[in-house]
Amino acid sequence: MSNGKQQRPGSRGGGKGHGAGASRGGGRSGGGRSGGARGGPGVPSQGGGAGPRRAGGSRPPRRRRPSTPPDPASRDVHSPEGVRLQKLLAGAGFGSRRACEKLIEEGRVEVDGQVVVELGVRVDPSRQTVHVDGDRVVVDTDKVYLAFNKPAGVVSTMEDDEGRPCLTDYVGHLSQRLFHVGRLDVDTEGLLLLTNDGDLAHKLQHPAFGVPKTYVAQVHGVVGPGVGKQLRDGVQLEDGLAKADSFRLVDDIPGHSIVEVVLHEGRKHIVRRMMEEVGYPVEALSRVQIGPVRLAELRPGKYRALSAEEVAQLYRSAGE
């Protein structure tokens, strides 16, 4: 839905009528493309050889100025028991060690906010942060970042007291303890982010950062020309005013419309309640994008690793 031509909710081979049992066959192995990320330890490969992998396998193309002026004498970030910085960068997909040494010598690499220009610096990837050209680089190989296409009928929890299909049915075999960033209600399908990076997950869910989320819905009725303005101006719900960041009509069929709604807040059933309020009840709903991460062709019940650029953009969205 998010890669050019928009699709209707439920049209990716498992949509609104996609039962949990049908999704779970093969649900324990994702089939999505990995976005160029390199493989990491403890994460099994998926069907087709494109398993979930740690972010950092492809160099983010954007080049920005370091956030701190070069001043190598200001603070010592050397960790004697750590790993050489150029080795970590090479492992994160920034080219050969010689190419990574050049990045350091050019003053484009920061450790804990300090520009590093010496090649002998060692870094502890489990507790220190690394930026290249101002972008956060994940050098901790234990960190996992996944995009998951939640089928309708699956609850957005790792366990369910009522025995309903849940996220563990799809990612419970992974060695890392993952948790989801935000939720989707049981009847909504689409994109969920799963990670073991608690700091990033907390920031992405914090309302102060306002990470946009894009939904595509099939609604009852043919949407009139003034609905978009009404939603952008805001509609009054029982828990306060709710505004859409953007709204557009994607398609219409007799008696129904396909619409795209972008929001930066995550109140419960927010899209369904807003559309109900303006007179167009939701019949099927899918989340197709969170910040820079798109669902694209990922099938229901499957997951993929985020690319290095996607992770860097998520950190950017979270203010880092």
The answer to whether the CB of 210 falls within 8 A of the CB of 264 is yes
In the structure encoding, which two tokens stand for residue 149, read together? 């296409």
HSE on the CB side for 251, CA within 13 Å?
12
User: Cα 142 from chain centroid?
Assistant: 17
Catalytic option among 142, 160, 185, 252: 185
Choose among 46, 111, 109, 127: nearest CA to 78. 111
Is-catalytic flag, 185? yes
CA neighbor of 276 nearest in space, from 229, 227, 232? 227
Asked if 208 and 259 count as a contact pair (C-beta separation under 8 A), the reply is no
Q: Which residues are catalytic?
A: 185
